[in-house]
Structure 1
Amino acid sequence: MSGTDEASAREALRSGDLTIIGRIRSASNATFLCEATCSDEVVHCVYKPVAGEQPLWDFPDGTLAGRELGAYLVSTALGWNIVPYTIIRDGPAGPGMLQRWVDQPGDSDEVEPEGPDLVDICPPESVPPGYLSVLRAYDHVGNDVILVHADDRRLYRMAVFDVIVNNADRKGGHILTGVDNRVYGVDHGVSLHVQDKLRTVLWGWAGKPIDDETLESVAVLGEQLAGPLADQLREHITADEIEALRWRVGALLREPVMPGPDRHRPIPWPAF
Protein backbone atom coordinates (compact mmCIF):
# COMPACT_ATOMS: atom_id res chain seq x y z
CA MET A 1 0.00 0.00 0.00
CA SER A 2 1.37 3.45 -0.88
CA GLY A 3 1.89 6.19 1.67
CA THR A 4 -1.03 8.13 0.21
CA ASP A 5 -3.36 5.13 0.48
CA GLU A 6 -2.25 4.53 4.04
CA ALA A 7 -2.87 8.17 4.97
CA SER A 8 -6.35 8.02 3.44
CA ALA A 9 -7.15 4.81 5.32
CA ARG A 10 -6.05 6.31 8.62
CA GLU A 11 -8.09 9.43 8.00
CA ALA A 12 -11.14 7.23 7.35
CA LEU A 13 -10.59 5.46 10.67
CA ARG A 14 -10.18 8.73 12.53
CA SER A 15 -13.08 10.68 11.08
CA GLY A 16 -15.14 8.43 8.81
CA ASP A 17 -18.66 7.19 9.46
CA LEU A 18 -18.66 3.86 11.30
CA THR A 19 -21.08 1.14 10.26
CA ILE A 20 -21.25 -2.12 12.21
CA ILE A 21 -21.14 -5.15 9.90
CA GLY A 22 -21.30 -7.81 12.58
CA ARG A 23 -20.20 -8.94 16.00
CA ILE A 24 -17.10 -11.08 16.54
CA ARG A 25 -18.61 -13.56 18.98
CA SER A 26 -15.38 -15.42 19.78
CA ALA A 27 -14.16 -12.35 21.70
CA SER A 28 -14.72 -12.14 25.46
CA ASN A 29 -15.57 -8.42 25.27
CA ALA A 30 -18.01 -6.73 22.91
CA THR A 31 -16.10 -6.65 19.61
CA PHE A 32 -17.49 -5.56 16.26
CA LEU A 33 -16.34 -5.67 12.67
CA CYS A 34 -17.03 -2.26 11.13
CA GLU A 35 -16.61 -0.24 7.99
CA ALA A 36 -15.17 3.25 8.29
CA THR A 37 -16.25 5.37 5.31
CA CYS A 38 -14.78 8.74 4.36
CA SER A 39 -15.47 10.09 0.85
CA ASP A 40 -14.64 7.15 -1.43
CA GLU A 41 -12.44 5.39 1.15
CA VAL A 42 -13.90 2.32 2.90
CA VAL A 43 -11.73 0.62 5.53
CA HIS A 44 -12.54 -2.46 7.59
CA CYS A 45 -11.76 -2.19 11.28
CA VAL A 46 -12.36 -3.72 14.69
CA TYR A 47 -14.34 -1.66 17.19
CA LYS A 48 -14.31 -2.45 20.92
CA PRO A 49 -16.51 -0.04 22.88
CA VAL A 50 -15.46 0.67 26.45
CA ALA A 51 -19.07 0.02 27.52
CA GLY A 52 -18.70 -3.58 26.31
CA GLU A 53 -15.61 -4.43 28.37
CA GLN A 54 -16.13 -7.23 30.88
CA PRO A 55 -14.90 -6.45 34.42
CA LEU A 56 -11.63 -8.17 35.42
CA TRP A 57 -10.42 -8.74 38.95
CA ASP A 58 -6.85 -7.59 38.20
CA PHE A 59 -7.35 -4.76 35.68
CA PRO A 60 -9.29 -1.57 36.49
CA ASP A 61 -12.67 -1.30 34.76
CA GLY A 62 -12.80 0.70 31.55
CA THR A 63 -9.04 0.66 30.89
CA LEU A 64 -8.70 -2.06 28.23
CA ALA A 65 -9.12 0.26 25.24
CA GLY A 66 -6.41 2.54 26.60
CA ARG A 67 -4.07 -0.42 27.03
CA GLU A 68 -4.69 -1.46 23.43
CA LEU A 69 -3.71 2.02 22.30
CA GLY A 70 -0.72 2.02 24.65
CA ALA A 71 0.53 -1.23 23.11
CA TYR A 72 0.19 0.32 19.65
CA LEU A 73 2.23 3.36 20.73
CA VAL A 74 5.00 1.13 22.10
CA SER A 75 5.00 -0.98 18.93
CA THR A 76 5.33 2.16 16.82
CA ALA A 77 8.11 3.56 18.99
CA LEU A 78 10.06 0.33 18.58
CA GLY A 79 9.77 0.71 14.81
CA TRP A 80 8.43 -2.84 14.48
CA ASN A 81 4.78 -1.95 13.73
CA ILE A 82 3.50 -5.19 15.21
CA VAL A 83 0.16 -3.72 16.26
CA PRO A 84 -2.17 -2.51 13.46
CA TYR A 85 -3.05 1.17 13.40
CA THR A 86 -5.09 1.85 16.56
CA ILE A 87 -6.99 4.85 17.89
CA ILE A 88 -9.68 5.63 20.45
CA ARG A 89 -12.75 7.41 19.13
CA ASP A 90 -16.50 7.60 19.46
CA GLY A 91 -18.56 4.90 17.73
CA PRO A 92 -22.10 3.51 17.53
CA ALA A 93 -21.84 2.18 21.11
CA GLY A 94 -19.85 5.08 22.53
CA PRO A 95 -16.11 5.65 22.91
CA GLY A 96 -13.88 2.68 22.23
CA MET A 97 -10.83 1.28 20.56
CA LEU A 98 -10.73 1.22 16.77
CA GLN A 99 -8.10 -0.91 15.06
CA ARG A 100 -7.48 -1.52 11.39
CA TRP A 101 -8.57 -4.97 10.23
CA VAL A 102 -5.76 -7.32 9.12
CA ASP A 103 -6.54 -8.94 5.77
CA GLN A 104 -5.20 -12.52 5.80
CA PRO A 105 -4.64 -14.98 2.95
CA GLY A 106 -7.17 -17.40 4.46
CA ASP A 107 -9.92 -14.74 4.34
CA SER A 108 -10.49 -15.59 0.68
CA ASP A 109 -11.91 -18.91 -0.41
CA GLU A 110 -9.64 -18.69 -3.43
CA VAL A 111 -6.46 -18.65 -1.31
CA GLU A 112 -5.65 -21.65 0.88
CA PRO A 113 -2.82 -21.17 3.40
CA GLU A 114 -0.03 -23.70 2.91
CA GLY A 115 1.85 -25.56 5.63
CA PRO A 116 1.53 -25.27 9.41
CA ASP A 117 0.43 -22.08 11.12
CA LEU A 118 3.04 -19.88 12.79
CA VAL A 119 1.74 -21.28 16.08
CA ASP A 120 0.40 -24.81 15.86
CA ILE A 121 -0.16 -28.17 17.57
CA CYS A 122 1.33 -31.34 16.14
CA PRO A 123 2.25 -34.93 17.14
CA PRO A 124 5.64 -35.18 18.91
CA GLU A 125 7.16 -37.08 15.99
CA SER A 126 5.96 -34.51 13.43
CA VAL A 127 7.41 -31.17 14.57
CA PRO A 128 7.93 -29.21 11.32
CA PRO A 129 11.47 -28.15 10.41
CA GLY A 130 12.23 -24.65 11.66
CA TYR A 131 9.75 -24.87 14.55
CA LEU A 132 10.43 -24.60 18.30
CA SER A 133 8.68 -26.72 20.90
CA VAL A 134 6.88 -24.96 23.74
CA LEU A 135 4.74 -27.46 25.63
CA ARG A 136 3.94 -31.15 25.56
CA ALA A 137 0.34 -32.02 26.36
CA TYR A 138 -2.64 -34.22 25.44
CA ASP A 139 -5.38 -33.36 22.99
CA HIS A 140 -9.12 -33.79 23.63
CA VAL A 141 -8.97 -37.55 22.95
CA GLY A 142 -5.80 -38.19 24.93
CA ASN A 143 -3.23 -38.18 22.12
CA ASP A 144 0.28 -36.84 22.78
CA VAL A 145 0.75 -33.40 21.14
CA ILE A 146 3.25 -30.55 21.21
CA LEU A 147 2.55 -26.83 21.07
CA VAL A 148 5.07 -25.32 18.64
CA HIS A 149 5.81 -22.02 16.93
CA ALA A 150 7.98 -21.02 14.00
CA ASP A 151 11.56 -19.90 14.58
CA ASP A 152 10.71 -16.74 12.69
CA ARG A 153 12.23 -13.29 13.05
CA ARG A 154 8.80 -11.65 12.91
CA LEU A 155 7.57 -13.81 15.80
CA TYR A 156 10.80 -13.25 17.71
CA ARG A 157 10.24 -9.50 17.71
CA MET A 158 6.68 -10.08 18.85
CA ALA A 159 7.97 -12.20 21.75
CA VAL A 160 10.31 -9.36 22.81
CA PHE A 161 7.46 -6.86 22.42
CA ASP A 162 5.26 -9.00 24.69
CA VAL A 163 7.94 -8.97 27.38
CA ILE A 164 8.11 -5.18 27.17
CA VAL A 165 4.35 -4.55 27.32
CA ASN A 166 3.84 -7.39 29.83
CA ASN A 167 1.22 -9.06 27.63
CA ALA A 168 -1.00 -11.34 29.70
CA ASP A 169 -2.77 -12.95 26.73
CA ARG A 170 -0.62 -13.81 23.71
CA LYS A 171 -2.68 -16.64 22.23
CA GLY A 172 -1.96 -18.25 18.88
CA GLY A 173 -5.18 -16.71 17.57
CA HIS A 174 -3.85 -13.23 18.38
CA ILE A 175 -1.04 -13.65 15.83
CA LEU A 176 -2.10 -12.79 12.29
CA THR A 177 -0.19 -13.09 9.03
CA GLY A 178 -1.34 -10.37 6.65
CA VAL A 179 -1.61 -10.55 2.89
CA ASP A 180 1.42 -8.22 2.95
CA ASN A 181 3.40 -11.07 4.58
CA ARG A 182 3.84 -9.09 7.79
CA VAL A 183 2.96 -10.66 11.13
CA TYR A 184 0.63 -8.64 13.36
CA GLY A 185 -0.32 -8.94 17.01
CA VAL A 186 -3.82 -8.04 18.20
CA ASP A 187 -5.81 -8.05 21.47
CA HIS A 188 -3.56 -6.20 23.91
CA GLY A 189 -6.25 -5.08 26.36
CA VAL A 190 -4.64 -7.00 29.22
CA SER A 191 -1.14 -5.57 28.94
CA LEU A 192 0.98 -2.87 30.60
CA HIS A 193 0.17 -3.96 34.16
CA VAL A 194 2.53 -3.16 37.04
CA GLN A 195 2.70 -6.78 38.20
CA ASP A 196 4.42 -9.49 36.16
CA LYS A 197 1.63 -11.07 34.11
CA LEU A 198 3.41 -12.32 30.99
CA ARG A 199 1.43 -15.20 29.47
CA THR A 200 2.32 -16.26 25.97
CA VAL A 201 2.60 -19.15 23.55
CA LEU A 202 5.93 -17.73 22.32
CA TRP A 203 8.31 -19.34 24.82
CA GLY A 204 10.56 -20.98 22.21
CA TRP A 205 13.39 -18.48 22.78
CA ALA A 206 13.32 -18.66 26.61
CA GLY A 207 16.82 -18.29 28.02
CA LYS A 208 18.31 -17.20 24.69
CA PRO A 209 20.34 -13.96 24.40
CA ILE A 210 18.70 -11.00 22.67
CA ASP A 211 20.60 -9.85 19.58
CA ASP A 212 22.19 -6.41 19.23
CA GLU A 213 19.86 -5.18 16.48
CA THR A 214 16.81 -5.88 18.64
CA LEU A 215 18.46 -4.22 21.64
CA GLU A 216 19.10 -1.08 19.60
CA SER A 217 15.36 -0.75 19.01
CA VAL A 218 14.67 -1.38 22.71
CA ALA A 219 17.18 1.34 23.64
CA VAL A 220 15.44 3.81 21.29
CA LEU A 221 12.15 2.97 23.01
CA GLY A 222 13.79 3.69 26.38
CA GLU A 223 14.88 7.11 25.14
CA GLN A 224 11.38 7.90 23.90
CA LEU A 225 9.92 6.90 27.27
CA ALA A 226 11.96 9.75 28.74
CA GLY A 227 10.14 12.20 26.48
CA PRO A 228 6.88 12.65 24.54
CA LEU A 229 5.94 8.95 24.48
CA ALA A 230 5.44 8.99 28.25
CA ASP A 231 3.09 11.96 27.87
CA GLN A 232 1.06 10.06 25.26
CA LEU A 233 0.87 6.96 27.45
CA ARG A 234 -0.10 8.98 30.51
CA GLU A 235 -3.50 9.60 28.90
CA HIS A 236 -4.22 5.84 28.97
CA ILE A 237 -2.24 4.14 31.76
CA THR A 238 -1.10 5.17 35.23
CA ALA A 239 2.22 6.71 36.23
CA ASP A 240 3.11 3.47 38.05
CA GLU A 241 2.40 1.46 34.89
CA ILE A 242 4.62 3.78 32.84
CA GLU A 243 7.38 3.40 35.41
CA ALA A 244 6.99 -0.40 35.28
CA LEU A 245 7.26 -0.20 31.48
CA ARG A 246 10.49 1.79 31.82
CA TRP A 247 11.79 -0.80 34.28
CA ARG A 248 11.08 -3.70 31.90
CA VAL A 249 12.89 -1.89 29.08
CA GLY A 250 15.85 -1.21 31.36
CA ALA A 251 15.89 -4.80 32.60
CA LEU A 252 16.15 -6.14 29.04
CA LEU A 253 19.04 -3.77 28.32
CA ARG A 254 20.84 -4.67 31.56
CA GLU A 255 20.30 -8.41 31.14
CA PRO A 256 19.58 -9.09 27.44
CA VAL A 257 18.17 -12.58 27.79
CA MET A 258 14.65 -13.74 26.99
CA PRO A 259 12.81 -14.68 30.18
CA GLY A 260 11.53 -18.19 30.83
CA PRO A 261 8.11 -19.46 31.89
CA ASP A 262 8.95 -19.53 35.60
CA ARG A 263 5.67 -18.06 36.79
CA HIS A 264 2.11 -19.20 37.53
CA ARG A 265 0.06 -19.93 34.38
CA PRO A 266 2.73 -18.87 31.85
CA ILE A 267 0.62 -19.94 28.85
CA PRO A 268 -2.85 -18.43 28.24
CA TRP A 269 -5.67 -20.95 28.09
CA PRO A 270 -7.08 -21.77 25.67
CA ALA A 271 -3.85 -21.32 23.72
CA PHE A 272 -5.74 -20.37 20.52
Structure 2
Amino acid sequence: MPAAGSKGAPKNPGQLKDDTSSSRDEKQVVLRALSSPPFKDYRVWWSLSDSKYAGTAMIIKKKFEPKKVSFNLDRTSSKHEPDGRVIIAEFESFLLLNTYAPNNGWKEEENSFQRRRKWDKRMLEFVQQVDKPLIWCGDLNVSHEEIDVSHPDFFSSAKLNGYIPPNKEDCGQPGFTLSERRRFGNILSQGKLVDAYRYLHKEKDMDCGFSWSGHPIGKYRGKRMRIDYFLVSEKLKDQIVSCDIHGRGIELEGFYGSDHCPVSLELSEEVEAPKPKSSN
Protein backbone atom coordinates (compact mmCIF):
# COMPACT_ATOMS: atom_id res chain seq x y z
CA MET A 1 0.00 0.00 0.00
CA PRO A 2 1.26 3.53 -0.75
CA ALA A 3 1.51 6.25 1.88
CA ALA A 4 -1.44 8.56 2.48
CA GLY A 5 -1.52 11.85 0.60
CA SER A 6 -2.98 13.12 -2.63
CA LYS A 7 -0.93 13.55 -5.81
CA GLY A 8 1.57 16.37 -5.47
CA ALA A 9 0.96 16.75 -1.74
CA PRO A 10 3.26 15.70 1.14
CA LYS A 11 2.82 12.06 2.06
CA ASN A 12 2.17 10.51 5.48
CA PRO A 13 4.24 7.28 5.55
CA GLY A 14 2.49 6.11 8.73
CA GLN A 15 -0.97 6.01 7.15
CA LEU A 16 -2.51 4.07 4.26
CA LYS A 17 -3.46 5.94 1.10
CA ASP A 18 -7.24 6.43 0.74
CA ASP A 19 -7.80 9.45 -1.50
CA THR A 20 -8.94 7.46 -4.56
CA SER A 21 -11.69 4.88 -4.92
CA SER A 22 -9.22 2.07 -5.62
CA SER A 23 -6.98 2.97 -2.66
CA ARG A 24 -10.02 3.21 -0.36
CA ASP A 25 -11.11 -0.26 -1.46
CA GLU A 26 -7.62 -1.65 -0.87
CA LYS A 27 -7.41 0.02 2.52
CA GLN A 28 -10.73 -1.48 3.58
CA VAL A 29 -9.55 -4.96 2.59
CA VAL A 30 -6.40 -4.54 4.69
CA LEU A 31 -8.22 -3.07 7.69
CA ARG A 32 -10.87 -5.81 7.63
CA ALA A 33 -8.13 -8.43 7.67
CA LEU A 34 -6.35 -6.71 10.55
CA SER A 35 -9.57 -6.52 12.58
CA SER A 36 -10.25 -10.25 12.19
CA PRO A 37 -8.66 -13.18 14.06
CA PRO A 38 -5.81 -13.61 14.66
CA PHE A 39 -4.75 -10.05 13.80
CA LYS A 40 -7.27 -8.27 16.01
CA ASP A 41 -4.98 -9.06 18.94
CA TYR A 42 -2.09 -7.29 17.22
CA ARG A 43 -1.09 -3.70 16.62
CA VAL A 44 0.41 -2.65 13.29
CA TRP A 45 2.98 0.05 12.51
CA TRP A 46 3.49 1.23 8.93
CA SER A 47 6.34 2.92 7.13
CA LEU A 48 5.16 3.38 3.58
CA SER A 49 6.55 4.62 0.30
CA ASP A 50 4.92 7.05 -2.11
CA SER A 51 4.18 4.08 -4.37
CA LYS A 52 3.59 0.37 -3.95
CA TYR A 53 7.09 -0.81 -4.79
CA ALA A 54 8.45 -0.32 -1.25
CA GLY A 55 7.39 0.10 2.37
CA THR A 56 7.39 -2.01 5.53
CA ALA A 57 5.00 -3.00 8.29
CA MET A 58 5.47 -4.48 11.74
CA ILE A 59 2.68 -6.37 13.52
CA ILE A 60 3.14 -7.05 17.25
CA LYS A 61 0.81 -8.62 19.79
CA LYS A 62 -0.81 -5.91 21.87
CA LYS A 63 0.29 -7.52 25.12
CA PHE A 64 3.93 -7.05 24.05
CA GLU A 65 3.88 -3.27 23.68
CA PRO A 66 7.34 -1.95 22.74
CA LYS A 67 8.89 0.90 24.70
CA LYS A 68 9.44 2.86 21.50
CA VAL A 69 8.93 2.47 17.76
CA SER A 70 11.02 4.48 15.31
CA PHE A 71 11.32 4.58 11.54
CA ASN A 72 14.86 5.73 10.89
CA LEU A 73 18.31 4.21 11.33
CA ASP A 74 19.02 7.39 13.26
CA ARG A 75 16.89 6.46 16.26
CA THR A 76 16.80 10.06 17.46
CA SER A 77 15.04 11.17 14.28
CA SER A 78 11.26 11.43 14.09
CA LYS A 79 11.30 11.12 10.29
CA HIS A 80 10.69 7.98 8.28
CA GLU A 81 13.44 6.62 6.06
CA PRO A 82 12.87 7.32 2.35
CA ASP A 83 10.68 4.61 0.78
CA GLY A 84 9.63 3.38 4.24
CA ARG A 85 12.54 0.98 4.52
CA VAL A 86 12.99 0.80 8.31
CA ILE A 87 10.94 0.04 11.44
CA ILE A 88 12.65 -0.41 14.82
CA ALA A 89 10.79 -1.62 17.90
CA GLU A 90 12.65 -1.24 21.18
CA PHE A 91 11.82 -3.64 23.99
CA GLU A 92 13.30 -3.86 27.46
CA SER A 93 15.92 -6.45 26.57
CA PHE A 94 16.31 -6.29 22.77
CA LEU A 95 15.75 -4.35 19.56
CA LEU A 96 13.61 -5.68 16.71
CA LEU A 97 14.66 -4.23 13.35
CA ASN A 98 12.68 -4.70 10.14
CA THR A 99 14.24 -3.45 6.90
CA TYR A 100 13.63 -3.59 3.17
CA ALA A 101 17.04 -3.09 1.60
CA PRO A 102 17.23 -1.27 -1.74
CA ASN A 103 17.98 -3.44 -4.75
CA ASN A 104 21.53 -3.10 -6.07
CA GLY A 105 20.34 -2.70 -9.65
CA TRP A 106 22.30 -3.56 -12.78
CA LYS A 107 24.05 -0.35 -13.84
CA GLU A 108 26.45 2.05 -12.14
CA GLU A 109 25.11 4.85 -14.33
CA GLU A 110 21.68 4.59 -12.71
CA ASN A 111 23.19 5.36 -9.26
CA SER A 112 21.71 2.16 -7.83
CA PHE A 113 25.16 0.77 -6.97
CA GLN A 114 25.95 3.94 -5.05
CA ARG A 115 22.57 3.87 -3.30
CA ARG A 116 23.15 0.29 -2.15
CA ARG A 117 26.72 1.00 -1.01
CA LYS A 118 25.45 3.94 1.03
CA TRP A 119 22.72 1.76 2.56
CA ASP A 120 25.21 -0.95 3.51
CA LYS A 121 27.52 1.65 5.07
CA ARG A 122 24.65 2.98 7.20
CA MET A 123 23.63 -0.54 8.22
CA LEU A 124 27.21 -1.30 9.26
CA GLU A 125 27.27 1.83 11.40
CA PHE A 126 23.90 0.95 12.93
CA VAL A 127 24.78 -2.61 13.96
CA GLN A 128 28.06 -1.44 15.46
CA GLN A 129 26.27 1.10 17.65
CA VAL A 130 23.25 -0.83 18.97
CA ASP A 131 23.14 -0.96 22.75
CA LYS A 132 20.93 -4.05 23.12
CA PRO A 133 20.79 -7.52 21.56
CA LEU A 134 19.42 -7.20 18.04
CA ILE A 135 16.90 -9.25 16.06
CA TRP A 136 17.01 -8.06 12.44
CA CYS A 137 14.53 -9.35 9.88
CA GLY A 138 13.35 -8.47 6.41
CA ASP A 139 14.13 -8.53 2.72
CA LEU A 140 17.86 -7.79 2.83
CA ASN A 141 18.23 -8.22 -0.94
CA VAL A 142 21.46 -10.21 -0.79
CA SER A 143 22.42 -13.88 -0.93
CA HIS A 144 25.52 -14.22 1.21
CA GLU A 145 27.09 -17.43 -0.10
CA GLU A 146 26.78 -19.76 -3.09
CA ILE A 147 24.75 -22.12 -0.91
CA ASP A 148 22.11 -19.36 -0.72
CA VAL A 149 21.20 -19.51 -4.42
CA SER A 150 19.90 -22.39 -6.49
CA HIS A 151 22.19 -21.83 -9.49
CA PRO A 152 25.39 -19.94 -8.55
CA ASP A 153 26.85 -19.89 -12.07
CA PHE A 154 23.61 -18.51 -13.53
CA PHE A 155 23.39 -15.69 -11.00
CA SER A 156 27.12 -14.87 -11.12
CA SER A 157 27.04 -14.39 -14.89
CA ALA A 158 23.61 -12.73 -15.19
CA LYS A 159 23.45 -9.57 -17.33
CA LEU A 160 20.77 -7.07 -18.27
CA ASN A 161 20.66 -6.55 -22.03
CA GLY A 162 24.30 -7.61 -22.29
CA TYR A 163 25.56 -4.78 -20.06
CA ILE A 164 28.75 -5.51 -18.06
CA PRO A 165 29.64 -3.12 -15.19
CA PRO A 166 33.19 -1.71 -15.30
CA ASN A 167 34.00 -3.16 -11.86
CA LYS A 168 34.10 -6.96 -11.92
CA GLU A 169 32.81 -7.13 -8.33
CA ASP A 170 29.57 -5.44 -9.44
CA CYS A 171 28.86 -8.03 -12.15
CA GLY A 172 26.05 -10.52 -11.87
CA GLN A 173 22.54 -10.72 -10.49
CA PRO A 174 21.63 -7.90 -8.10
CA GLY A 175 21.83 -9.45 -4.65
CA PHE A 176 24.59 -11.87 -5.68
CA THR A 177 27.43 -9.60 -6.75
CA LEU A 178 30.75 -10.06 -4.97
CA SER A 179 30.70 -6.50 -3.66
CA GLU A 180 27.28 -6.91 -2.02
CA ARG A 181 28.13 -10.29 -0.54
CA ARG A 182 31.42 -9.06 0.92
CA ARG A 183 29.80 -6.00 2.45
CA PHE A 184 27.08 -8.18 3.95
CA GLY A 185 29.69 -10.51 5.41
CA ASN A 186 31.42 -7.52 6.96
CA ILE A 187 28.14 -6.34 8.50
CA LEU A 188 27.64 -9.77 10.06
CA SER A 189 31.20 -9.88 11.37
CA GLN A 190 31.45 -6.32 12.68
CA GLY A 191 27.93 -6.41 14.11
CA LYS A 192 28.56 -9.81 15.75
CA LEU A 193 25.42 -11.17 14.09
CA VAL A 194 24.36 -14.74 13.37
CA ASP A 195 22.32 -15.80 10.34
CA ALA A 196 19.67 -17.81 12.20
CA TYR A 197 18.60 -19.97 9.26
CA ARG A 198 22.13 -20.93 8.25
CA TYR A 199 23.07 -21.49 11.90
CA LEU A 200 20.55 -24.36 11.98
CA HIS A 201 20.59 -25.48 8.34
CA LYS A 202 24.16 -26.14 7.26
CA GLU A 203 23.41 -27.91 3.98
CA LYS A 204 21.88 -26.62 0.76
CA ASP A 205 18.17 -27.41 0.45
CA MET A 206 17.05 -27.25 -3.18
CA ASP A 207 13.40 -27.76 -2.22
CA CYS A 208 12.72 -25.23 0.53
CA GLY A 209 15.98 -23.39 1.19
CA PHE A 210 15.18 -20.21 -0.75
CA SER A 211 12.86 -17.31 0.03
CA TRP A 212 12.71 -15.66 -3.43
CA SER A 213 11.89 -17.26 -6.75
CA GLY A 214 12.15 -15.95 -10.28
CA HIS A 215 9.21 -15.74 -12.66
CA PRO A 216 7.69 -19.21 -13.19
CA ILE A 217 7.84 -18.68 -16.97
CA GLY A 218 11.06 -17.98 -18.84
CA LYS A 219 14.76 -18.21 -18.06
CA TYR A 220 14.25 -17.48 -14.35
CA ARG A 221 11.95 -20.46 -13.82
CA GLY A 222 13.37 -22.52 -10.97
CA LYS A 223 16.05 -19.92 -10.23
CA ARG A 224 15.84 -19.07 -6.53
CA MET A 225 17.67 -17.04 -3.90
CA ARG A 226 17.63 -16.71 -0.13
CA ILE A 227 17.42 -12.96 0.43
CA ASP A 228 15.02 -12.77 3.40
CA TYR A 229 16.63 -13.23 6.80
CA PHE A 230 16.50 -13.31 10.54
CA LEU A 231 19.83 -12.16 11.96
CA VAL A 232 20.40 -12.18 15.71
CA SER A 233 23.16 -10.95 17.98
CA GLU A 234 25.66 -13.66 18.85
CA LYS A 235 24.55 -13.57 22.49
CA LEU A 236 21.10 -14.78 21.33
CA LYS A 237 22.28 -17.68 19.17
CA ASP A 238 21.82 -20.31 21.90
CA GLN A 239 18.16 -19.27 22.11
CA ILE A 240 17.44 -20.07 18.45
CA VAL A 241 14.88 -22.89 18.45
CA SER A 242 13.89 -22.81 14.78
CA CYS A 243 14.21 -20.68 11.68
CA ASP A 244 12.23 -21.90 8.70
CA ILE A 245 11.45 -20.87 5.13
CA HIS A 246 7.81 -21.61 4.32
CA GLY A 247 7.89 -21.79 0.52
CA ARG A 248 9.05 -24.72 -1.54
CA GLY A 249 9.61 -26.01 -5.04
CA ILE A 250 9.66 -24.35 -8.45
CA GLU A 251 5.85 -24.28 -8.46
CA LEU A 252 6.06 -21.74 -5.60
CA GLU A 253 4.04 -23.59 -2.99
CA GLY A 254 3.64 -21.28 0.01
CA PHE A 255 4.46 -18.08 -1.92
CA TYR A 256 0.82 -16.94 -2.01
CA GLY A 257 1.13 -15.06 -5.30
CA SER A 258 4.33 -13.25 -4.33
CA ASP A 259 7.91 -13.80 -5.46
CA HIS A 260 8.85 -14.02 -1.75
CA CYS A 261 7.64 -16.50 0.85
CA PRO A 262 7.39 -16.17 4.65
CA VAL A 263 10.36 -16.86 6.92
CA SER A 264 9.87 -17.52 10.64
CA LEU A 265 12.08 -17.48 13.72
CA GLU A 266 11.43 -18.98 17.15
CA LEU A 267 13.58 -18.10 20.14
CA SER A 268 13.49 -19.70 23.56
CA GLU A 269 13.37 -17.73 26.75
CA GLU A 270 16.68 -16.42 28.00
CA VAL A 271 19.16 -19.17 28.75
CA GLU A 272 20.57 -18.98 32.24
CA ALA A 273 24.31 -19.21 32.55
CA PRO A 274 25.45 -22.31 34.46
CA LYS A 275 26.17 -21.62 38.09
CA PRO A 276 29.78 -22.16 39.14
CA LYS A 277 30.35 -25.19 41.31
CA SER A 278 31.46 -24.48 44.82
CA SER A 279 34.62 -26.13 46.05
CA ASN A 280 35.03 -27.46 49.56
Could you state the TM-score of these two structures normalised by the residue count of structure 2? 0.25
Higher helix residue share: 1
Larger Rg: 2
- Structure 1 length-normalised TM: 0.25
Which is bigger in relative contact order (C-alpha 8 A, separation at least 6)?
1
